[in-house]
Chains A and B, each alone.
Chain A
């Protein structure tokens, strides 16, 4: 096994060298056409974050593309650059002091570009975002928990409510956000959503409640987060120490085995002692 291991390492080295030299001569160039997922997030601290995820879509799924330098633009203005990490994501947080350019339709035109390198093709993606503010108030009355969300939009004519759009209450889970409830904002731009009392939190019952426009076609992702003791505390099941499948065997099994083995081996010892006594007796007789 270790032999083939070593051979394969050698093979890789050789391949590595040849691949390197081949691409240096420009003979072999299989360029990747990347897929760029571009999204906008206004987070709980009202920071505006531009997010890009670069992947290569292959037969067997998505492969993240790390180490690519992404440029972020607001209209024609370069906002900044970020490099994709191991998950293929690059985030750029817009400096709050920057005056963002507003397009003709009153939205922010954002774009992200990748200029391409020797292996990955250039790509481009854009977004138009309308700025909204989301407010979340959590209240608890007579044991009834509710989340009130209010969305407003700053316009030239002042702040107006956002009406008729879908908004949701979420809780973060290990892999994704779990939608607890969603609803449509009324004409005042508000909605009250009842929060269930059977959602597991952490061991103390802490739960992060998120009010969010989720992937909205105009607003992108806009969210507010707050931690409350609104979850059911998760009590960890005691670890199993002795069972058929655990490391340690059930006690009865150990005891039974020990008794049986002791019983048998003590008899063996007895016989061996007897044999030694036979030997001694023989020696005694020989001496005589």
Chain B
């Protein structure tokens, strides 16, 4: 038991203790992308939104796609970590922390894309000063604020035990401020029975809350589109469809991150093929659901096609054909095929499938937003090409890249402050294993 703990610390804490040069290089790379994004933002504020590809018909572009995408990752992280925790999934220990981090970090990035999309940034506080309860955007603001609180509490609650462990470890080679930080954040957690009881109760409550909130909040986001009359958006299926899509992308990201951290931080011992296969099966199930929802949505629109639905679907199958095929065929079928055939279930294959799913989901959001806006009820009669067809500009791409870069940077920073794999969870899992073994011996 003690040896196990020693090993655990030896394997998981070096990343907190020292920072490699390649870490700095990577971080500088991300930082450069982030700065480029900042310049893009400055350019946009200086020149106005005319520098984006958005125009009067396609008023929402890549920014909103990114917003939905990042929020989706966040909710998926919440759902996955909440579910893993609540259902006491035995293999959850090495991956639950990653899922929790995805939740909080994506949540920190997502709303910024709304800010980029808003015409008058300085009036953002009006959302809180003059809110109208009827507006789905206000629902979303309330929901996101609630969600941020919930996710931060959830993450923190799950971190306390680890902080206490790091605090109690005398031979940890970290800067004094980090030690002090652990001491404060551990909140005097000593592992007494009462404390343990309170903490695990809190974690269960938060896990349950997080699942509920994630479903509600992502449905609310879907309703921003669903409540309008636009062809392709005005659909009752949108709430659940978005939730499923979110989990799909979130699980994909989780698998990709598992592969990355496993490689970089040498966690091969902890994150094994078993975890990839288990997450892969989750991905499989979600992909099947997602495919079913997508099919059902487009089938009904195509079969009894109302004029506008027909125009939209024609557009999807001509102009957006490549996107459509990638998002709704390749993106769904690849994970299903790879997981379904046991021979193909390697870590590399599963990671590739997850990555494809992740990218496909982004494209899926793109072809939900843009083609609909390009087909308003009254035809667009304009000679200006950019008024009729949306294409994102470098400003939008730079801010998108900046979003991804910030995601990477935050993950890198957090991996230097606390272990990326929950030490306490691992110990608990080990204890459970030992108990099981003992019972078997008896």
A281 / chain B contacts, CB cutoff of 8 Å: 188, 190, 192, 194-195, 198
Q: Which of the four size classes fits the interface of chain A?
A: 20 to 34
Counting chain A CB atoms within 10 Å of each CB, the highest count among B157, B195, B216 belongs to B195
* Alpha-carbon separation in the docked complex, A1 to B284 (Å): 52
Q: Which A237-288 residues have a C-beta within 8 angstroms of B?
A: 244-245, 247, 249-250, 253-254, 257, 260-261, 264-265, 267-268, 270-272, 274-275, 277-279, 281-283, 285-286
B415 within 8 A of A: no
- Interface-facing stretch out of B2-10, B145-153, B433-441: B145-153
Option from A264, A272, A278, A279 in Cβ contact (under 8 Å) with B209: A264
Q: Which B113-153 residues have a C-beta within 8 angstroms of A?
A: 132-134, 139, 142, 146, 149-150, 153
| A271 pairs with B153, CB closer than 8 A | yes
Given contacts A249-B132, A257-B133, A261-B146, contact A271 B205 (CB under 8 A): yes
Given contacts A245-B134, A285-B190, contact A271 B142 (CB under 8 A): no
| A278 pairs with B195, CB closer than 8 A | yes
Q: Which of the four size classes fits the interface of chain B?
A: 20 to 34
**Does more than half of chain A's interface fall in helix, strand or loop, or is it mixed?**
helix
* Alpha-carbon separation in the docked complex, A254 to B192 (Å): 43
B194 / chain A contacts, CB cutoff of 8 Å: 277, 281
B198 / chain A contacts, CB cutoff of 8 Å: 274-275, 277-278, 281
In the complex, number of A-B residue pairs with CB atoms less than 8 Å apart: 74
Quote the shortest CB–CB distance from A285 to chain B (angstroms): 5
Quote the shortest CB–CB distance from A177 to chain B (angstroms): 36
| B157 pairs with A271, CB closer than 8 A | yes
B132 / chain A contacts, CB cutoff of 8 Å: 247, 249
| B213 pairs with A264, CB closer than 8 A | yes
Quote the shortest CB–CB distance from B71 to chain A (angstroms): 17
* Alpha-carbon separation in the docked complex, A244 to B187 (Å): 47
B230 within 8 A of A: no
A272 / chain B contacts, CB cutoff of 8 Å: 153
Given contacts A245-B134, A249-B132, A286-B188, contact A274 B202 (CB under 8 A): yes
Quote the shortest CB–CB distance from A267 to chain B (angstroms): 5
A257 / chain B contacts, CB cutoff of 8 Å: 133, 139, 142
Quote the shortest CB–CB distance from A243 to chain B (angstroms): 8
Query: Other than the known A264-B212, A275-B202, A282-B195, what 16 A-B pairs have Cβ atoms closer than 8 Å?
Result: A249-B133, A254-B133, A257-B142, A264-B213, A267-B205, A268-B153, A274-B202, A275-B157, A279-B188, A281-B190, A281-B194, A281-B198, A282-B189, A282-B192, A285-B192, A286-B190
Which 4 residue pairs are nearest across A and B when measured between Cβ atoms?
Answer: A282-B188, A249-B133, A271-B202, A274-B202
User: What are some 6 contacts across the A-B interface (CB < 8 A)?
Assistant: A249-B134, A261-B142, A270-B205, A277-B198, A281-B192, A285-B190
